Amino acid sequence: MKPISEFQKMVVHTLAVFGPGSKVDVAMRADMIAESVKQCVRKLIPMGYVEQIGMTYTKQKRSPLYRWTGKDYGEPPAGMFEREIAMKVAAAAIDAMCRVG
């Protein structure tokens, strides 16, 4: 079987960490474009990494909800840890600046 790409890993990892979500939810959490998430999910479903579990409805539209199946996807995507660390450092810096004034 062909290994999954870094973008696909990012989608799977985001669903694994944050739980089920729509393509827009995944895109916001993974800092991706919703259309890229949609294309990744189309390939990940037949490969068994992601499954559709239902629909979410808003006034304007409906969107499928996806979740990670639990299938091992290997190492988290490159850059994911760096982004998480950078976010923690930025939050700590903002907190420190707010305390100082």
Q: Residue 15: its pLDDT value, please?
A: 93
Would the pLDDT of 2 be above 80?
no
pLDDT higher than threshold 80 for residue 10: yes
What average pLDDT does this structure show over 37-64? 92
Q: Residue 36: its pLDDT value, please?
A: 93
Residue 79 has a pLDDT of 64
SS3 per-residue string spanning 4-59: CCHHHHHHHHHHHHHCCECHHHHHHHHCCCHHHHHHHHHHHHHHCCEEEEEEEECC
pTM value surpassing 0.85: no
